Amino acid sequence: MFNLFFNTHYKTLTEIDIHSHLIPGIDDGAVDMDTSIKLIEELYLLGYRKLITTPHISDMCPNSKKSILKGYHALKKEVLKRDINMEIEVGAEYYIDESFEKLLESEQLLSFGKKNYLLFEFSYFTPPHDIDNLIYDMILNGYTPVLAHPERYLYWHHNFYKYKELKEMGVLFQININSISGHYNKDIQNIVEQLIKAGMVNFIGSDVHHMAHIKSLKKSFSLSLYKKTFKYNTILNKTL
C-alpha cells in the first residue's frame, strides 16, 4: 500500500526537465555511463519523459559544443540500447565570464526550444558586472535568456528588486525544484518561495547531478509549495 501511495503522489507535475547533468564524465554530474543510466531510470520513475540535459561550460568545466554533442550522442545511443522510453535532448549551462562573451560573438550556442532558450548562470558569491549589456547581446543574437536557479545567488537575497529588474530586461527564470525543500539551505528556500508566490517563475528544473538529488526531488514533489509553483506561475516546460 505504501508503494502505491508513493508512486501516485511523489511525482513530477511536468514530464519535461530542462536542467540536468547527465552526460557522463563531462562535468560535476554523472561520473560514468552506468551512473547516467541509473539517474535517467530514476527520473523516468518520477514521471519524466523528456530530459534536456545541460552540461556546464566554464573555466572549471572547459567543454565545447563539439565535446558536449559527442557525449550526448553516446548517451542517447545507450538509452536506446537499454530500451528506456525517455527522450533526450541537449543544451548547456553557460557560466558568465569573458569566455562566454567570446563564445556569444563567435559561434552558435547550445540553446533549446523554438525560442532559442539559453540557460546561463552567475557566480554564487560575486555579483556580475554589466548585466544590461550582457542580456542585450544575448537577445540581439537571437536567444531568449534563461537564468538558472536565481534563488541561489546570495548577493540578491536582500535586494529582491534585482530580480524584478532582470525580468524587466527580458530574462526568464528557472528555479531548482530542490530549492523548494530546503536542499541547499533555508535562505535559498525562502527566496524561491518569494519568486514562486510573486509569479516570477518560467521554468522548473531538477538540476540533477547525482542520486542525492533524486532523493531530494521525491521530498520536494510532496510539498504544497511545489504544487503552488504551477498555480501561481505559467510554467513553460510543457511547451518544449
pLDDT digits (tens, 9 = 90+) for 15-69: 999 999 999 999 999 999 999 999 999 999 999 999 999 999 998 899 999 999 9
pTM of the entire predicted model: 0.95
CA dist., res. 39 & res. 41, Å (int): 5
Dihedral (CA of 33, 38, 39, 45) sign: positive
For the chain, give every domain's residue range: 14-235
61-72-18 Cα angle (round to 5): 80
What is 14-235's CATH topology? TIM Barrel (3.20.20)
pLDDT digits (tens, 9 = 90+) for 111-153: 999 999 999 999 999 999 899 999 999 999 999 999 999 999 9
Question: Please, are residues 232 and 200 in contact by the beta-carbon 8 Å criterion?
Answer: no
